[in-house]
Structures are given as C-alpha cells and as structure tokens.
Amino acid sequence: MATTGAKLAPPLMGQVFDGPSGYAGVAATPEWAQEVKRLARERNATILAHNYQLPEIQDVADHVGDSLALSRIAAEAPEDTIVFCGVHFMAETAKILSPEKTVLIPDQRAGCSLADSISAAELRAWKAEHPNAVVVSYVNTTAEVKALTDICCTSSNAVDVVASIDADREVLFLPDQFLGAHVKRVTGRENMHIWAGECHVHAGINGDELTEQARSHPDAELFVHPECGCATSALYLAGEGAFPADRVHILSTGGMIDAAKAAKSSQVLVATEVGMLHQLRKAAPGIDFQAVNDRASCKYMKMITPAALLRCLVEGADEVHVDPETAALGRNSVQRMIAIGNPGGGE
Ligand code: SF4
C-alpha cells in the first residue's frame, strides 16, 4: 500500500473530469474524505466551507461558517494555505485579509450573480454622477469593487453602517436591491441610491410562495435572510398578522445558527439558499427545518464538488491573486465595516 500523497492521489485523481457543471467523477466516500484530510495536512492547509456548500464538503472541512467569519478564521489560522470552499469573491476577501497566505479555491469559475451585478467600471461611472456620495457595498462584491468602496457592510450591520454616515451625505448602496430596500425602510433615509442588483437564488424566493407556506404552517417560526426577495413580504405578512411578528426573524446566515439553538417552535421555515439547512439541522436536530423554496440552490456554490476539492489539494489550484494596491484599498473598506455595529458574518 502506498503511503505518500503523491503515490495515493493518482487513483482517485484519475477519475476526475471537467463536466458542464464543474469537476466531477469522484464520490464523497470515506476514502475520499481521508485523502482530502491527508492532502490538506501535507500542504499545511486548512479547509474552510461556506454554509451553502454541499453537505459532504461541509462535513470534511475544518471550519464551516459565513463569509466574514471564515475570512477571520483564515487570517488567524496557523496554517499558511487556505482552501476556501465557497465562491470567488469570498476567497478574494480571505486573500485581502491575509495577503501573506496562499489562498486556493477548488474551482475559480464559482462566481456569484450578485457580485457580478456591478463591475468596477460601472461603479466608477456611478460615483462620477454622485461625486460627494459615500459608497457602501455589501460584502458580495469583487476585490476591485471593494477597492472603490468607502465602507463594506454585511446584512447584520448594513443599517448601522448607513446610519453612521452624516445625514447630509448621499449614499450609494450596492449591489443588492433587496438589502438596500430593507436598509432604506429601516433608516428612513431619502438620499440613498440603490443599485438594482440581485442574486438569482434569493430573488427566486418570492412573496406568493412565502404566503402559502405561512398559511399552511401556522405554528412555525420563519427565518429570513435579508438578501432574499421575500424579506419585504415577510415583514408585510407579519404586519398584517398573517405571520406573528415575534416568529419572524431577519437574520444573517451566522445569526440563523444562533437562533436555531434558541428556537422554541418545533418547525422553522427557512428563506435562503437550501445548503443552510444542513448546518441548521446539525445545530438543532430536534427542529423540523423546511425550505420556503426547495429550488433555491446556488449553482456556483455547488461547483465545489468532491472532485474539485481533491484536484485543488493535489494540484495546488486554483490560486486566488489580488494585486497589492487593490487589496490594500479593499482592506480599508472591509476594516471600516468590522468597526461598525455587529457585522455578524455576511452571507
Ligand atoms: S447564493 Fe446568490 S449571492 Fe450567494 S453566492 Fe450564490 S449567487 Fe451569490
């Protein structure tokens, strides 16, 4: 029996192929999990997995969490290589906060429709139309957009970030229109311009579906991620009494885990990406967690397959690079975010 990584990797690696939805061909067997852990040790790497990852990727990871929490773990980890199982902007954020570390993503094609809704060129043009505005960007943005941003925010501290800005200054809020609408409603701020971006997954969770679920599960609590298109209708339903206000919780993904542990109902409806159900069910096994929309699955997150992770560890690819000047500017906007309110963990 072979005993070194170089000798053990080829049999499983030989099964990897590049398919239409990313790398495929390897099942998440105990042999695979053992091999992943051994290769990670050999590279002195820590494996981080976002809450929306496939269950088998979450289970093999050293840490599971939301994007900001994982970036902080990356910065503090003793290992010099970070394998980031998430989408590209998240791995970039980890690189921005840990420029001296090697950051790998198992498939660099794992993008994000929300981050892609605004480019650096579009933001430059928008800023030129509002030269005195303060730019607030949700963390789901590319490194280049972060570099053009004054303050980043998460869903947990977006309201505090906007409220911290001088009332006379215009605010450009991007890229999520639903989070923007939520912040504008709560702060009552009129001089706030919102970019019309959206995540295709969250936008697919709509009010009609939520209304139907609320009526057919009258005793359930409802966890809503503010990036969902259904946040407005959830609050509206609560206001109407269709869903008791004390059972509606607008939460970041990290906040959902804490709320799950404290939940009093035996059933919770969850309005966000379906990968979140895995961690919630682990955190509170006695509760029946149901997706508001079980088709709300992010195809980019699911590109981090067992085959992609294996290939990443064998080949040391794909490495994430952010040029030092962009990283320094982006780091400033991320650090301002961390200093305001309770930033929670981002998506
Ligand atoms: S769920 Fe939406 S916001 Fe999150 S990574 Fe996927 S596309 Fe981006």
| Distance between CA atoms of residues 105 and 96, nearest Å | 14
pTM, 2 dp: 0.89
What's the pLDDT tens digit per position in 171-226? Answer: 999 999 988 988 998 899 999 999 999 888 877 777 777 788 888 998 999 998 87
What's the pLDDT tens digit per position in 25-65? Answer: 999 999 999 999 999 999 999 999 998 999 999 999 999 98
pLDDT at 308: 98
Query: In what order do the strands lie in the sheet containing 45-50?
Result: 63-65, 45-50, 81-85, 102-104
Residue nearest to atom 5 of ligand 1 (CA): 112
CB 71 within 8 A of CB 94: yes
pLDDT at 4: 43
Query: Is the predicted pLDDT of residue 114 greater than 80, yes or no?
Result: yes
What's the pLDDT tens digit per position in 152-172? Answer: 998 778 899 999 999 999 999
pLDDT at 285: 95
Going from the Cα of 153 to the center of ligand 1, the distance in angstroms, rounded, reads: 16
Residue nearest to atom 2 of ligand 1 (CA): 199
Mean pLDDT of 233-256: 74
Mean pLDDT of 312-321: 97
The backbone region for 224, taken as left when phi is positive above 0, alpha when psi lies in -120 to 50, beta otherwise, is beta
Residue nearest to atom 1 of ligand 1 (CA): 298
Going from the Cα of 189 to the center of ligand 1, the distance in angstroms, rounded, reads: 27
Looking at domain 115-199, its CATH architecture is 3-Layer(aba) Sandwich (3.40)
- 331 phi, psi to nearest 5 deg: -60, -40
Measure CA 295 to chain center. 18
Mean pLDDT of 107-129: 97
pLDDT at 3: 41
pLDDT at 2: 39
Q: CATH 3.40.50.10800: which residues of the chain?
A: 11-110+300-321, 115-199, 205-291
Query: Domain spanning 11-110+300-321 has what CATH number?
Result: 3.40.50.10800
**32-50 burial, b if ≥16 CB within 10 A, otherwise e?**
beebbebbbeebebbbbbb
Per-residue pLDDT band for 141 (boundaries 50, 70, 90) equals: very high
Per-residue pLDDT band for 6 (boundaries 50, 70, 90) equals: very low
Superfamily (CATH) of domain 205-291: NadA-like (3.40.50.10800)
Per-residue pLDDT band for 129 (boundaries 50, 70, 90) equals: very high
Name the E strands within 36-188.
45-50, 63-65, 81-85, 102-104, 134-138, 151-153, 171-174
Going from the Cα of 84 to the center of ligand 1, the distance in angstroms, rounded, reads: 15
| Distance between CA atoms of residues 307 and 339, nearest Å | 38
- Please state the atom number of ligand 1 nearest to the C-alpha of residue 300: 6
- Say which range, 197-206, 234-243, 292-301, has the weakest mean pLDDT: 234-243
